[in-house]
Amino acid sequence: MRITSLQNNRIKNVVKLRQRRQRDAQRLTVVEGGREIVRALQHDVVPLEAFFCPELISGKEAETAVSRLRQLAQTQSTRLY
């Protein structure tokens, strides 16, 4: 699914998660960046949702992260945007 608006409710929720109160209330966190995503995936963290912009993917770590996220989207409950 492609998101094209900053008014999208999913994007708004990710922005809310910048606040600790929101992360605690929702029991969610945000992992940003190719290296951090790869590290989380190596520790068997399965994301509920993943957001990325294909045009901005650069570097081996980011490509590895996106490849693994795509695999998870096919086999588990990770939703890609």
Question: Mean per-residue pLDDT for 59-75?
Answer: 92
Helix (H) or strand (E) holding 12: helix 9-16
Cβ proximity of 5 and 13 under 8 Å = no
Q: Quick one: 37 exposed, middle or buried, by C-beta within 10 A (0-12, 13-18, 19+)?
A: buried
pLDDT digits (tens, 9 = 90+) for 11-55: 999 999 999 999 999 999 999 988 999 999 999 999 999 999 888
Structure tokens given for 13: 């929720």
Asked if pLDDT for residue 6 goes beyond 80, the answer is no
How far apart CA 81 and CA 67 sit, in angstroms, is 14
pTM: 0.78
pLDDT at 54: 87
Give the DSSP letter of residue 33. S
Residue 36's pLDDT is what? 94
Check pLDDT > 90 for residue 3: no
